[in-house]
A and B are shown apart, each in its own frame.
Chain A
Amino acid sequence: DAGVTQSPTHLIKTRGQQVTLRCSPKSGHDTVSWYQQALGQGPQFIFQYYEEEERQRGNFPDRFSGHQFPNYSSELNVNALLLGDSALYLCASSRQGNNQPQHFGDGTRLSIL
């Protein structure tokens, strides 16, 4: 049973570019959340997708956008990259419901030069 998979594992971009990160949820999960984790800090919630719609959003600018596909996989898009966007981007999946545990992928390490 495959867990949460994310691609790519590492990515290097320059300021002003755009990036797309991908996530496939654990089998049986229908909800995907994205988090940004800076070095030495806990993950910060970006947004959550369920039924192909954004359900919750954290305190991130509109440069951060996402999408969920009918097969529950998801993409995170970041436009006009800034140096401060360098971080580990984590995808978590779960079943819809308030008491469902989240399962995380290994993340995408994004470096902005």
Chain B
Amino acid sequence: KQEVTQIPAALSVPEGENLVLNCSFTDSAIYNLQWFRQDPGKGLTSLLLIQSSQREQTSGRLNASLDKSSGRSTLYIAASQPGDSATYLCAVGTWANAGKSTFGDGTTLTVKP
């Protein structure tokens, strides 16, 4: 059974700081990993999708990496802004259950002005 863990559960940083969010998973037989952002009371906004054959993906100030062998992914946010404050979730899709994504419980990020 795939289990996804995100550490830390909460993070508070001053504006302008670079930061890293972590995601670990127990079953390395994944076909993709997706990072999402969720604002309070809202749905999920897709940030980055990394396919199993890829090592990283970049979009603007965001960079996500994937290391299947160690069961880890990181989301790097450069030059953080107050508007980045949200909960960040990672979701893993495994070959054993194609079509089903397993989510972590998220990291709640607060960027202070």
Give the interface of A toward B (CB within 8 A): 4, 6, 31, 33, 35, 40-45, 48, 50, 55-56, 58, 88, 90, 92, 98-99, 101-107, 109
Instruction: Give the distance in Å from the alpha carbon of A102 to the alpha carbon of B100 in the complex.
Output: 10
B36-70 CB contact bits vs A (8 Å, 1 = yes)?
Answer: 10000111111001011000000000000000000
Give the interface of B toward A (CB within 8 A): 4, 31-32, 34, 36, 41-46, 49, 51-52, 89, 91, 93, 95, 97-106
Q: Are A99's CB and B31's CB within 8 A?
A: yes
Q: Are B101's CB and A102's CB within 8 A?
A: yes
Q: Are B93's CB and A98's CB within 8 A?
A: yes
Given A42-B89, A42-B105, A99-B32, the answer on whether A105 and B43 have CB atoms closer than 8 Å is yes
Given contacts A42-B103, A42-B104, A42-B106, 12 further A-B contacts (CB under 8 A): A44-B103, A50-B99, A55-B99, A92-B101, A98-B32, A99-B32, A99-B49, A99-B52, A102-B46, A102-B101, A104-B46, A106-B42
